[in-house]
Structure 1
Amino acid sequence: MSLLGKKFNGAIARPMWPFYVSGLVVLYGVNSMANAMMLSDEHKNDPRNQLTRNKPAAH
């Protein structure tokens, strides 16, 4: 006797592929927007900005 009950073999990934693809598109869009905002004039001199934090000093 199984603890989890009867197993049903059903497709999981095949009917869910549109949700996986749309999730990747949304994550790509959020990442692109975040990078664009970090490079904007308003946040370019922010000390918390990770893109401009560890630049080597110019000689």
Structure 2
Amino acid sequence: MPRVGGAFALFRRKWPTPVWEPMAPFIIAGGIVYYGVWQGQNALTDTDEFRNDPRNRNAKPSKPEAH
């Protein structure tokens, strides 16, 4: 009998093992950690030390000096 579907035929098979139910707490926790790190990074970019740093994306560009 010829093989139909190639290498990805294994991914189309329905496996009796639950995947999403046991992984749901880890996926949700990963989202919460991602959001927390994102908010922490935004809070640190607003500190006095990095407010005017040219690497800061939120820094206002300095005006060039007039000649």
Instruction: Tell me the CA shift for residue 51 of structure 1.
Output: 0.8
Pairs aligned (count): 54
The structure having more radius of gyration, on CA atoms, is: 2
Higher relative contact order (CA 8 A, sep 6+): 1
Q: CA RMSD in A?
A: 2.3
Length-normalised TM-score, structure 1: 0.73
Q: Which has the higher helix share?
A: 2
- TM-score normalised by L of structure 2: 0.66
| Structure 2 unmatched ranges of 5 or more | 63-67
Runs of 4+ with >6 A deviation:
none
